Amino acid sequence: MKKRRLLSMLACVTTAVTILSTTAVAAAEQDLGVVVISGDEEEGSSEPVSLDDIKIGEEVEIPDYAIFTPTECAVLDEFKKKKPSGWETQRSGNTAEYVILYLSLINQKTKAVDFNADISSVVVTYNEKYQYAGWNFQRDADSGEPKGAISSDSQFSIDPMYEGLYMVGCTLPNAVIEGTEPLALTFKLGENDITYNIRK
Q: Which pLDDT value is given to residue 144?
A: 85
Residue 4: phi and psi, rounded to 5, are -65, -45
Cα separation, 3 vs 9, whole angstroms? 10
Model pTM above 0.85: no
- Domains of the chain, residue spans: 50-199
Q: Which CATH class is domain 50-199?
A: mainly beta
How many helices (H) and strands (E) in the chain? 3, 11
Task: Tell me what pLDDT residue 19 has.
Answer: 45
Say what the pLDDT of residue 83 is.
Answer: 84
pLDDT at 26: 47
What does pLDDT average to in each consecutive run of 10 residues of the chain (200 residues)? 48 48 48 62 67 94 96 97 90 97 98 97 97 97 90 92 98 97 98 96
